[in-house]
Each structure stands twice: as structure tokens, then as C-alpha cells.
Amino acid sequence: MISEKIQNAINDQIKAEFDSFYLYLAMSAYCQSINFKGFASWFAKQASEEQVHAMRFFDYLVDRGGRVALKGLDTPTLDFASIQDAFQQTLEHEQIVTGRINKIYDMAVAEKDYATQEMLNWFVKEQVEEEASATEMLEKVKMAENKPGNLMYIDKHAGKRGES
């Protein structure tokens, strides 16, 4: 059985993951609206990953005999100053998510909840990838600043995310 404190933290994280889903979906819509289909696809794939993350927490809580308490989602930002701004916000957002996961991990360590620590190990590794991916895209977009042809090239390749 999972403690009430960790159950509540995981329920908060489920909400945060679905909020992330909504945020990246809004970023995808923004990119669509300014005809950057590749970036839109990148953000849509990011949104899908966040939904998977939410369900991973959801399933874990159920498996541990906890109670899932779904909470309302926040309305995401709908407008961005630029593609660069969207990726800057992505990086900052992922850093916040990393902090949230680390706090849950700290709780699990304090409570000697080894199962939760083990489950969170996957998320700790995933956040390293998430921050690296956001940083890479932000740096590429920064390099293309004031060079529309380069930004279009990056957009084309961003749309191929996940292809082998």
C-alpha cells in the first residue's frame, strides 16, 4: 500500500503531466497557425509523450492500491512570441517537471518506499532526455535566428522526430 503523502504527490504529478500534454498541444497549435508543420509535429509528439507519462503514474498508483484523483487542467498559454520562445518555455517547463519528480523521489526515500523509488528511476532518466532534447531544439532555433531559410530547414527536420 502506498502512503497518503506519496499518493497525493503522484496525483498532483498526474495533473502536471496532463497539463504538460495541454501545453505542448497548444505549442503545436501555435506552430500550425504560423505554418511551421515540422515544429508542430515535434510538439504534438511531445504532447503524446506527456500523456503516456501521466498514464504511467496513473497505472502505478492503481497497481499500488492507491486512489487516482483526477484534477482539472490549467489553460495553457496560447500565444508565443516566436518559435524560440516556445522552445525556451519548453526547456523551462521541463526543468520544473524535473524538480517535481525529484521532490517525489525525496519523499519516497524519506519513507523508504523502494517501489516508488524504482518507478521514479525511469522518470529521472527520462527527464535528462527531455531537458537535453529541449536544449538541443532551443539552441538550433537560436542559431537560425534572423535566417528564415535555416529555420525552415530545422522545421523540416523537427517534423521527422521519432523516425528511424
Cβ–Cβ < 8 Å for 94, 34? no
Q: What is the pLDDT of residue 79?
A: 85
**Is there a domain that residue 103 lies in?**
yes
**Is there a domain that residue 19 lies in?**
yes
**Is there a domain that residue 16 lies in?**
yes
* Domain count across the chain: 1
* H or E element at residue 24: helix 4-33
Domain that holds residue 103: 4-158
Q: What is the pLDDT of residue 164?
A: 47
**Is there a domain that residue 102 lies in?**
yes
Which pTM value belongs to this model? 0.93
Helical pair 114-143 and 83-110, crossing angle rounded to 10 deg: 160
Residues of the chain with pLDDT under 50: 164
